[in-house]
Amino acid sequence: MVSFQNKDILKVLNAKLDRIQVDLVHLMADAKPVLLDQSTQGRLSRMDAIQQQEMNASLISRMHQEERKISAAINRVNDGTYGICCKCGENIDPNRLNSDPAAPFCSECTTS
């Protein structure tokens, strides 16, 4: 019922997951509170640092979401339900899976 090579899909998904986890480790290391040395940093660079931390924090939460999404897709490959919409049970358009291999929903369920 699934027109994909599960092994290939797993390879793609695991590679994506690995990359995200590596990026997350780096980001989390960067997200540790920056020690702000008042003598060498002006007000602007301090604001930059805070802004940078906020951007990191939102990036980290986005990547955690992506991590969960990819893990769920890997589980679906193992369950044999990969490529099937989690909402309506229809097959997900292969083109859609090509552009987003971890897509849990068909295009109709995503937009509705």
* Contact status: 74 vs Zn ion (CB under 5 A): no
Residue from 17, 85, 97, 103 touching Zn ion (CB under 5 A): that is 85
Window contacting Zn ion (CB under 5 A); options: 13-21, 56-64, 69-77, 81-89: 81-89
**What minimum distance in Å lies between the beta carbon of 90 and Zn ion?**
5
Residue from 6, 87, 94, 98 touching Zn ion (CB under 5 A): that is 87
Cross-strand pairs, 84? 91
Residue 60: CA count within 13 A, CB half-sphere: 15
* Contact status: 88 vs Zn ion (CB under 5 A): yes
Residue from 2, 59, 60, 109 touching Zn ion (CB under 5 A): that is 109
* Contact status: 86 vs Zn ion (CB under 5 A): no
Question: Whole-angstrom Cα distance, residue 65 to residue 77?
Answer: 19
Return the exposure string of 3-42: e unless at least 16 CB atoms fall within 10 Å of the residue's CB, then b: ebeeeebbebbeebbeebeeebeebeeebeeeeeeeeeee
Would you tell me which residues interact with Zn ion (CB under 5 A)? 85, 87-88, 106, 109
